Structure 1
Amino acid sequence: MTATDVIELDLGSISGDNHGEVTSYLGIPYASPPLGESRWKPPQPVVPWVGVRECTGYGPACPQPKSKFYDVGNTSEDCLFLNIWVPANGREAKVPVLVWVHGGAFTTGAGSLGLYEGMNLAAQGVLVVTINYRLGPLGFLALPGLSDESPFSVSGNYGLLDQIAALEWIQSNVSQFGGDKDNVTLFGESAGAVSACHLLSSPLTTGLFHRAIVESGPIWVEKGLPAASRPLETAEKTGLKLVEELGLVDKSNSVSSLRAVTAEKLVETASPGEGLAVLKNELQFGPVIDGWLLPGNPVSQIAQGNVHDLPLLVGANANEANLFLEGMTVTGDSFEKIVNLVFGEYSNEVIDMFPLGENEDAATILSELFTVNEFIAPARFLAESFGSLQSNSYLYNFSRVAPGNPLGACHGSEIPYVFGNFDQALGYTDADHRLSRTIMSYWTAFARTGNPNRNGLPEWPPYSKEEDKLLQFGETISANKGLYSEACDLAERIHLGE
């Protein structure tokens, strides 16, 4: 590993690490630190620096509660960094750009997680970028006092504004690394996938990306589970609840008082819990339908075609909800109570669609129900909606179970295959590595042309409502038809009011 040639940006010069096939530039600031009076403000441009900035280590993650799924290391409010991996030919040729938005329920995560290390994906001849964005109450707090500060009378979408600022930075700077600013694919998983859907429906992102990959995005806005987004008025009420929980009684001065609260205290007070505990949490922070960045309910916007008409690759995993229900005891009674809580007037139809047989495990059926409703059905809806536009869409289902994984093809289990990053201690086999190379080939072909098909790979048909075909990634790869069609129809009726 050797120091690279210096890259000169308008902001200053940077250096990174040359790994042979790929050169990495880590911890590049794309916006000024959102500290002090800049907390809960749109991201501001980076102040230029003098000399060469060494970009050989990740910047800190944004403040967040501890997660049982990963350790993000050091955190700081000074967290608006991105990371770039450039293939060996990148400096000489315009290569496609893939921009990763991490998941974590808009509460945890970072672009610096080892799972998202871009070396192997970049070696396929694409430039890979991962980003941090503000999370939880620091990224998505809405409050009447904050809306009063805004020239657009809005608040709450600071994390999405960070993502947009990163995309704008890429437009201004990626050509210096050899990336093609006119061929940018936005891709993400979970909250990152939801982010991509929100940005697809935002007027503020025109021209900032040209294709999208949506992995396991629970985009529904209505009904009992935590919403992918909420109206500004609802979000402001949540903000006032946080003020109350913090004991800041003087509401008229709540903004200045909140800016004096430590990030640690804000995160601790707003911590959502895990699993289904989030259903009881009144302090849920995420994207806000503000009439400016998000002009309307993104699901409705997408259904009506009020989106950027771009090629879309979208899908979900076969056992998504196993991750969230792990360790839960579910009885027949609690199964019905949860279904009633989440689905209300549709509960009987849902139970008829997912009946709990006398000898069946309630947790297994509940997981299947939530997997279909929250992940498989939204993926089909997105494929159908974008497939009806001028651009094509491509739908997948990932069912490969890694050796020794008791949770099956659960939420996030496709990520090691997409990035080619495997923890060998978990027993991944040659078959897993082959599948990973195939998935990376599909993803990078899509990034190049908007079509994932390439010579030597099983054909991936564009999605159409009539054919209802998807590509199944399991023990083998095959084009299948009609996955949970009736249950997906019911989910669309529930969430779209059809």
Structure 2
Amino acid sequence: MHIRTLLAAAAATLAVAGSAKASDTVKVAQGELHGATAGTVTSFKDIPFAQPPVGDLRWRPPQPAKAWSGVRDATQLGPQCWQMRATPSEANQSEDCLQLNVWSPANFKPGAKIPVMVFIHGGSFTGGSGVNALYDGTHFAERGVVLVTVNYRLGRLGFFAHPALTAEQPGQPLANYGMMDNLAALKWVQDNIAAFGGDPKNVTAFGESAGGILINDLMASPKAKGLFTKAISESGFGRIPGLPMAQAEKVGVTYANGLGVTATGPDALKQLRALSPMQLSKAAGQVTPILDGTVLPEGPAAAFKSGREQKVPYIDGGNSWEASLFSTATPLDRAGPLKDKLIAAYGSPSNLQLAQWDLSTESLVIEPDRLLARLHVKNGQKAWVYYDSYIPASQRSTLHGLSHGGELMYVFGNLPDKERTFGTRTIPAATADDRKLSAAMTDAWVAFAKKTDPSTPQAAWPAYTPANDEVLEFGADGVHARPQFHKTSLDLVEQFNDQVPAGR
């Protein structure tokens, strides 16, 4: 039986325990939910925010979730959206996955106006999920925040254009179905989060990697207006422009042909919708948001430059070894007359490879962070920038810097109590210093959600201005503001980025 069917059947048979606390049961627009309280936190999991995007709803905008009868069990996480990798596993995956999870301070009162944070996960738009244990929101809720995590469609299920879809749905939002899922989740939060004690007028949207890109895209989307009041983009690749629709349709046709679907018009869609997620995964390739003209009319850098971005307080930042994500470094040969200056700025004339890796980190993440912050401030808005270089003491002699995504366990406070290995990557058991750094990051994110200024008793975080070029560094020596941060190299990288197309 389909995993989602099993979960639904199990939920339907569960009754609310007579001893449940009042705050363990809430009523949202679709019906009642029964969650679970552990310590000072109450959680509600596997909450549908849209109908299952299956059958004829595949490659359509998310539709409002249907009501359920009785009390829905919300004590267990649901499946993740289908992982659209070249070699996917069917374990704990479903195309019926549009659900979110909520962590609130225990014994909250409905309508209490607690600050809300909504997290959008990363994973190159082909993997990841809001049910990952790394994103458990307990430590945010312990600090007086309602934390929400979201699933959204991935791969070509989530970001797909095809001439037949354009013809089928004239005038409808197209292509960015995964982004539309996040818009639908944010709309659901606006309509329902008060039931969990949350304040719909104080919602911070934040995300990392692909999620950070989506935060920047939401900043650029007119469809997101009013759905959040603050934003944080972690490693958000701010200069990525998005794929033009005409080009995306060509990619979509090539993708369909690779699956053996060479028909056109309604026949093409009928055949594509008949394929299983596993079959669709076999043609997996690079996926990116698409400039569809409606949900995403322009890329973030263009929107910020023109002053059309969301006018909300904004944090962005990145890590010292973002290049860990890439299989190859940015070639210095593309720098032209800037090559020698860049090598000198990075201090690696005897190690061109290292200079190229550092150029990758700064050209794809760190300088675009500075660019978006500068443009946002120029448009009369508040911005803050961070840089995370913290590495556990036991790894400082072997690692060049903090890897892409390495800040997440510190932000969420979900550090390992014992050494853990993920593929070729080893994460040591957390030390007291690790936990201190983690608390500083979580507290800063929470301060931003609560009072907009992310400064905390541990560290003052100056608002960014082009004059001070100041960022807050989370490093081995603690948390410190750094004026004129990496100015020599970033000024050169800005010239490099202006002359070399984004996404190179």
Both structures adopt the same fold (TM-score exceeding 0.5): yes
1:353 maps to which residue? 342
Q: Is contact 1:147–1:154 with CA below 8 Å preserved after alignment?
A: no
1:367 maps to which residue? 357
1:275 maps to which residue? none
Q: Is contact 1:17–1:56 with CA below 8 Å preserved after alignment?
A: yes
CA RMSD for the aligned pairs? 2.4
How do 1:105-124 and structure 2 match up within 5 A?
A: 105-124=124-143
1:429 maps to which residue? 431
For the residue of structure 2 that corresponds to 1:321, the secondary structure is helix
Q: Is contact 2:413–2:438 with CA below 8 Å preserved after alignment?
A: yes
- Does 1:383 find its partner at 2:402? no
Between the aligned partners of 2:374 and 2:288, the Cα distance in structure 1 is 25
- 283, 300, 303: which one pairs with 1:269? 283
Q: Is contact 2:134–2:408 with CA below 8 Å preserved after alignment?
A: yes
1:191 maps to which residue? 210
- 391, 394, 411: which one pairs with 1:401? 391
- How far has the Cα of 1:362 moved from its partner? 4.4
Please list the CA deviations of residues 393-438 of structure 1 after superposition, one character each: whole Å capped at 9, or x if unmatched.
1111111102444443111111111100011222221011111111
1:76 maps to which residue? 94
1:276 maps to which residue? none
For the residue of structure 2 that corresponds to 1:264, the secondary structure is helix
2:466 maps to which residue? 465
Please list the CA deviations of residues 175-195 of structure 1 after superposition, one character each: whole Å capped at 9, or x if unmatched.
000000000000011111110
For the residue of structure 1 that corresponds to 2:480, the secondary structure is strand
2:481 maps to which residue? 479
For the residue of structure 2 that corresponds to 1:354, the secondary structure is helix
For the residue of structure 1 that corresponds to 2:195, the secondary structure is helix
For the residue of structure 1 that corresponds to 2:360, the secondary structure is helix
Q: In the alignment, residue 412 of structure 2 is paired with which amino acid?
A: F
Summarize the Cα distance change of 1:247–1:468 in structure 2 as closer, same or farther, 3 Å threshold.
same
Summarize the Cα distance change of 1:114–1:358 in structure 2 as closer, same or farther, 3 Å threshold.
closer
How do 1:242-281 and structure 2 match up within 5 A?
A: 242-252=255-265, 253-270=267-284, 272=285
How do 1:164-243 and structure 2 match up within 5 A?
A: 164-221=183-240, 229-243=242-256
Q: Is contact 2:25–2:33 with CA below 8 Å preserved after alignment?
A: yes
TM-score (norm 1): 0.88
Summarize the Cα distance change of 1:78–1:462 in structure 2 as closer, same or farther, 3 Å threshold.
same
2:411 maps to which residue? 418
* Structure 1 unaligned spans of 5+: 222-227, 273-283, 329-334
1:86 maps to which residue? 104
- How far has the Cα of 1:367 moved from its partner? 1.9
Summarize the Cα distance change of 1:254–1:20 in structure 2 as closer, same or farther, 3 Å threshold.
same
Summarize the Cα distance change of 1:188–1:59 in structure 2 as closer, same or farther, 3 Å threshold.
same
- How far has the Cα of 1:58 moved from its partner? 1.2
Q: In the alignment, residue 134 of structure 1 is paired with which amino acid?
A: R
Deviates more, 1:136-145 or 1:471-480: 471-480
Q: In the alignment, residue 123 of structure 1 is paired with which amino acid?
A: E
The number of aligned residues is 465
1:277 maps to which residue? none
- How far has the Cα of 1:157 moved from its partner? 0.5
- How far has the Cα of 1:494 moved from its partner? 4.4
Deviates more, 1:200-209 or 1:347-356: 347-356
Tell me the percent identity.
38
Between the aligned partners of 2:269 and 2:93, the Cα distance in structure 1 is 23
2:12 maps to which residue? none
Summarize the Cα distance change of 1:206–1:72 in structure 2 as closer, same or farther, 3 Å threshold.
farther
- How far has the Cα of 1:352 moved from its partner? 3.8
Deviates more, 1:203-212 or 1:4-13: 4-13
Between the aligned partners of 1:243 and 1:81, the Cα distance in structure 2 is 28
Q: Is contact 1:146–1:154 with CA below 8 Å preserved after alignment?
A: no
Deviates more, 1:296-305 or 1:373-382: 296-305
Please list the CA deviations of residues 44-84 of structure 1 after superposition, one character each: whole Å capped at 9, or x if unmatched.
0111000010011111111114599x999511100101000
Please list the CA deviations of residues 307-345 of structure 1 after superposition, one character each: whole Å capped at 9, or x if unmatched.
1111011111111112434xx7xxxxxx78x445xx4xx
Q: Is contact 1:42–1:162 with CA below 8 Å preserved after alignment?
A: yes
For the residue of structure 1 that corresponds to 2:317, the secondary structure is strand
* Structure 2 unaligned spans of 5+: 1-16, 419-427
Please list the CA deviations of residues 363-383 of structure 1 after superposition, one character each: whole Å capped at 9, or x if unmatched.
432221111011111111121
Between the aligned partners of 2:463 and 2:201, the Cα distance in structure 1 is 23
Q: In the alignment, residue 109 of structure 2 is paired with which amino acid?
A: R
Summarize the Cα distance change of 1:234–1:67 in structure 2 as closer, same or farther, 3 Å threshold.
closer
Summarize the Cα distance change of 1:497–1:347 in structure 2 as closer, same or farther, 3 Å threshold.
closer
2:318 maps to which residue? 316
Summarize the Cα distance change of 1:449–1:151 in structure 2 as closer, same or farther, 3 Å threshold.
farther
Between the aligned partners of 1:13 and 1:198, the Cα distance in structure 2 is 33
Between the aligned partners of 1:258 and 1:52, the Cα distance in structure 2 is 36
Summarize the Cα distance change of 1:63–1:379 in structure 2 as closer, same or farther, 3 Å threshold.
same
Q: Is contact 1:72–1:113 with CA below 8 Å preserved after alignment?
A: no
Q: In the alignment, residue 102 of structure 2 is paired with which amino acid?
A: I
Between the aligned partners of 2:250 and 2:43, the Cα distance in structure 1 is 43
Between the aligned partners of 1:371 and 1:72, the Cα distance in structure 2 is 34
Q: Is contact 2:318–2:369 with CA below 8 Å preserved after alignment?
A: yes
- How far has the Cα of 1:358 moved from its partner? 8.3
